Amino acid sequence: MATKFSKVFKEALEKITYRHWIMLAGAASILLGVLVFFSLSGREAVKETESVNMVHVVVAKQDIAPKTIIKEAMLEVREMPAHLVPSDAVSSVMDVVNKPAKVQIMKDDVLSGRKVLSDMAMAGFTGSIPPGCRAVSIAITDITGVAGFAQPGDYVDVIIIAKNDNKMLGRVVLQDVQLLAINKTP
């Protein structure tokens, strides 16, 4: 039976001309194109039926440097999908006008409570001191200050070196201390 089927199949293939193959390929491609079109148009219909919850948020119109007093002209209100908005996003421009920026706010960033200081006094140097800590000034030079590589925000150890009689002694005074400023540069 398999040999009879293979004979019939071979005879049918021999009768098909080049022109028939081209028409068969054209029909198959048209059929495939129609199937792809309907499958994609069906997906778009599903997306249109899904509703997206939109909320109003305050967005920066321009870059705002840290500790800059935020003005109304620097901001705008936009509508965004709720799932893309942080939980503490600001929804009213008046909530942040005349308050200092806590961090660098880039153009088109959504303003949130974490990016804006609530108290003007926090915008100065004292605002950069972490809660429960005190600032201490220590004189350093390029030699004692790690050749100028230490930057504000880095954590360092403070070591005292003392000469007693003919001995040099070193002792760690403070460990893992955050640098707030170096040479008047916060």
Distance CA(183)–CA(148), nearest Å, equals: 10
- Closest C-alpha to 53, from 88, 84, 82, 77: 82
Do 45 and 60 lie in one domain? The reply is no
Residue 66 forms part of a structural domain: yes
Same domain, 141 and 100: no
The predicted pLDDT at position 120 comes to 60
12 and 32 within one domain: yes
Q: Do 35 and 21 fall within a single domain?
A: yes
Compute the average pLDDT of residues 78-96: 87
Identify whether residues 43 and 70 lie together within a single domain: no
Amino acid 122: pLDDT: 56
Same domain, 112 and 150: no
How many domains is the chain built from?
3
Does 59 share its domain with 94? yes
The pLDDT, as a whole number, for residue 121 is: 55
CA distance 54 to 182: 45
Residues 42 and 61 in one domain: no
Whole-prediction pTM value?
0.45
Residue 91: give the domain boundaries. 54-123
What pLDDT score does 27 carry? 95
What does the H/E/C string look like for the chain?
CHHHHHHHHHHHHHHCCHHHHHHHHHHHHHHHHHHHHHHHHHHHHHHHHCCCCEEEEEEECCCECCCCECCHHHEEEEEEEHHHCCCCECCCHHHCCCCEECCCECCCCECECCCECCCHHHHCHHHHCCCCCCCCCCCCCCCCCHHHCCCCCCEEEEEEEEEECCEEEEEEEEEEEECCCECCEC
* 37 found inside a domain: yes
Domain assignment present for 96: yes
Give the domain CATH number at 95.
3.90.1210.10
**Domain assignment of residue 185, yes or no:** no
- Asked, for residue 86, whether it belongs to a domain, the answer is yes
Contact present, 85 and 64 (Cβ < 8 Å): no
Report pLDDT digits (tens) over 16-60. Answer: 888 888 999 999 999 999 999 988 887 655 555 567 888 999 999
65 and 88 in a single domain? The answer is: yes
Cα-based angle 68, 69, 75 (whole degrees, multiple of 5):
100
The tens digit of pLDDT for each residue in 107-164 reads: 998 988 888 877 665 555 555 667 777 777 777 776 666 676 777 778 888 888 888 8
How confident is the model over 162-180, as pLDDT tens digits?
A: 888 888 888 888 888 887 7
Instruction: Report angle CA 139, 140, 143 to the nearest 5 degrees.
Output: 160
* Rounded distance between C-alpha atoms, residue 126 and residue 41, angstroms: 60
Let me know if residue 186 belongs to a domain: no
**37 and 95 housed in the same domain:** no
